[in-house]
Amino acid sequence: MSTMTLREVCEETRVSRRAIQGYELAGLVAATARNDRGYLLYDEESRRRIQQIKLFQDLGFSVKEIAGIIDAPKEELKEALEAKISVLQEKGDRIEVLIDKARKMIEQL
């Protein structure tokens, strides 16, 4: 199985070193080994998990919320995602209203 250093994982996933270290502190992910120079190594499953955590964060879940859902049964995860979609949709609707109001203001200038 192919492993990567923390630096390589950061580059591949576009997740900062600090964020990955935070995920580790929260118990969400762990390095799978160390190389002969002592660098942390991550396997493919760890990299996939980091990408999943980042997606959850992009959706607006906190690290604490992610810890509660990442290994949850599929039905529980589905419910959490559906609830988050509803929240995001509401925010999107409010943003659309604000954009329309701003455009109307521009037209009046």
How does the average pLDDT of the chain come out, rounded? Answer: 94
pLDDT value of position 70: 94
pLDDT one-digit tens code per residue, 54-73? 999 999 999 999 999 999 99
pLDDT band at 40 (very low <50, low <70, confident <90, very high): very high
Q: Where are the alpha helices (DSSP H) in 15-62?
A: 17-25, 44-59
- DSSP state letter for 26: T
Nearest to 50 by CA among 16, 2, 84: 16
pTM for the full model? 0.84
**What is the amino acid identity at position 17?**
R
In the predicted structure, residue 1 carries a pLDDT above the cut 80: no
